[in-house]
Structure 1
């Protein structure tokens, strides 16, 4: 069985030690605000961290998002760091979700054995997007903003844990090596395009 330290992938891509993959993702987040701590703590076990194909690529993003969430939680008021990190988080989550749906879930949804997992993941993407828009519409300096942000953080961490430990596991069983290699290439292209077009939208939730 693969371990969380080094995944022996089915494909011929380059395998990266899990700890190295995680450090690299955190470093990308830290580059935006080097003075803000990114204390993400322990992460749920997943056999995909370091995987050279689509699932490892998605976990790479997840770890970056974990770091951004931790960094925002460490900021104060309407600081420049909070504004910058939140904008980056919004663009990252929007682009990641859209590219993931196009590269992975659109295919997985067509298989009756994994349709429910795909629909669940896509529904949670919409819920998270609504929470981001609600936060963007509120005063960052208000005491309630960080409380609402904590709710978003909890929701998103639950979402990616579920993907890494359950939904990706089931999806992989029904995909070929060529599928997952192609999906990674397609995801990378769509992620770049989606992020370039992503905007921060505002909409108070009722």
Structure 2
């Protein structure tokens, strides 16, 4: 599996979880559980992606700006998660704030899949794509198991 396939798998999980959260009501155990999964997925994905995808893209002049932009969007999503952690899940403000996070996440995933992946495809060799996919998958699995501090994404 190359880096693009590996990243798309997590992207699909993020989209599914966000959609499921929007179908929940109030401070239900279902909403709480899905949101915890979603935050953990976002944090693990961002950590592994920055280490094994963006780090390499920053080294190339042609992809540096896009990689930095992607990492900045990760920070923006962390901030939105942090704000959500401060709002009662049963309030109407929570779902409105979650919708902002969902929109930011979906925008970020579209950017990656339709712009950054194409740029990276030109910068990375075939061997790099495969190696980065393997390294990303290993790190992502470790991060998902809790081998990383979750910072503001935990709550």
RMSD: 1.1
Question: CA offsets, 1:82-136, max 9 Å, x none?
Answer: 0000000000000001100101110110101110010000000000011111111
- Could you tell me how far 1:56 is from its partner in structure 2? 1.2
Contact 2:40–2:154 (CA<8 Å) still a contact in 1?
no
1:56-135 to 2 correspondences below 5 Å: 56-135=5-84
Taking structure 1 as the reference length, the TM-score comes to 0.71
- Could you tell me how far 1:54 is from its partner in structure 2? 0.6
Contact 1:108–1:118 (CA<8 Å) still a contact in 2?
yes
Contact 2:22–2:95 (CA<8 Å) still a contact in 1?
yes
Residue aligning to 1:180: 129
Structure 1 residue ranges (4+ consecutive) displaced by more than 4 angstroms after TM superposition: none
Taking structure 2 as the reference length, the TM-score comes to 0.94
Cα distance in 2, alignment partners of residues 159 and 198 from structure 1:
23
Cα distance in 1, alignment partners of residues 116 and 134 from structure 2:
20
* Residues paired across the two proteins, number: 151
Question: Which blocks of at least 5 consecutive residues in structure 1 are unaligned?
Answer: 1-51
Compare relative contact order (CA 8 Å, sep 6+) and give the higher one, 1 or 2: 2
Computing the radius of gyration from Cα coordinates, the structure with the larger value is 1
Contact 2:49–2:136 (CA<8 Å) still a contact in 1?
yes
Contact 1:78–1:141 (CA<8 Å) still a contact in 2?
yes
Report the structure, 1 or 2, having the larger helix content. Answer: 2
Cα distance in 1, alignment partners of residues 59 and 42 from structure 2:
24
